[in-house]
Amino acid sequence: MAKSLTLCRILSNNLFRIQPTCQINVRYLYSKEALGIDGYEQTRQRVSTQFTNMEEKFKTKMEECVDPKAATMIFTEDLKNMIHLAKPEERDLKLIHDMILRFNKQNTSLRFGNFIFGPVVMRMFYFLNKPEEALQCFKNPDLDGFFDQLMSYQILMDLLFINGKYDDVLEVFEIIRAKQIQTAKFPKQAVVLTLASLYKKNTPESLDAALKLWEELRTVGHVPIRKACTFMAGLALNQGKPQIALEVLSNINNQTYMTIRNLKVAALSEINRLEDVIQILKSVLEIDRPGQQKFTFNIDVIEKANSAVQNSSNKEIITTFERIITHLKEGGHITENTLDTDLCRDVLPNFNANFNRNPRFNDNRQYNNRRFTNSENRYERNFRPQQTRPGLEDLQ
């Protein structure tokens, strides 16, 4: 017994010397690359160069065009240029709003291009960090249909999410469900952002809402991607419902992802399934190979498991757990990241590149998210950045 207490003190003084907070911080859920913001920024630089010494004159001309008394049209190129010249100033934002309204109201027979502005306008709002203005445009009845693209929804919801406007994210999701654009009542990325917002709210009511949504998804045969499942499980865990978390995680075919491992260890610790906890921890040591990627556990998850083990008064469990933890620490299998940090890690696009890694156990997998919709024309696609970073696989 004395030996066990000594080991416990050693663990407490060394492994658990870091005391991370469990506070949930606002993070980017989707990277700029995944949302096409990087392409927008490149086009913005090009347009700015083209309008050197002419920008003010152009804006003044556009203000004349949107005057209610004027009968002038807003042409596609005018709106494109203004979207990429806009600054976060009241004058520019009002001008953009008026130009969009005028452009949308013009007789469709007079518009011969097929350029779809919704995603690009949302990228502009994202770049300028104007969530309220973006939501106002989205909800404007005079712009009904203007933002009816799945990418527009995703950019708007992510913009609201990173600004902590979780209730607005949920409102947008309800609008999306009603529209069923491209036959999608539950677009995958919208579901992710909705569950992420409920996770951030972290209240009994948000868990109830998440469970209701989960049941609706199950009823229609929708299979949420892994990111959505982990937010759902994380919320259930935070609300003291580890059984629900484990049931949600059972829907994921591949149980070897880092977030899945950590969520399962945390949930099993809370219901005192300590033998199962030890088995998961031990499995990482069994597959560890020199030179290969480390399979890790979050520091706060290990702390939770340690607390459950020490409270068990089972000497054999305690001894085995402490031995495994020592090996995990020595092998670099315990990170200083919290579980929340990894749950909210950026979702990046999939870049096709040869990269030597084991795809099955990749802890930082990226979502293959199309940057541009089919209906956006070559104007935007020509300015994509060179994809030089190694890519990771789909979250599904």
Q: Write down how long the chain is.
A: 396
pLDDT of residue 107: 58
Tell me the C-alpha distance between 249 and 232, whole Å. 9
Using alpha carbons, select from 16, 130, 26 the residue that is nearest to residue 83. Answer: 130
Residue 108, C-beta contacts closer than 8 angstroms, at least 6 positions apart: none
Express each pLDDT in 78-91 by its tens digit.
Answer: 999 999 999 999 99
CA-wise closest residue to 194 among 211, 219, 182: 211
pLDDT value of residue 367: 31
With a cut of 70, list the residues of the chain below it in pLDDT: 1-28, 107-113, 181-184, 288-292, 348-396
- Taking residue 173's Cβ as centre, other Cβ atoms within 10 Å add up to 21
pTM of the full predicted structure?
0.78
Residue 336 has which token pair?
Answer: 């200083």
Asked if residues 191 and 217 have their Cβ atoms less than 8 Å apart, the reply is yes
Q: CB of 236 within 8 A of CB of 207?
A: yes
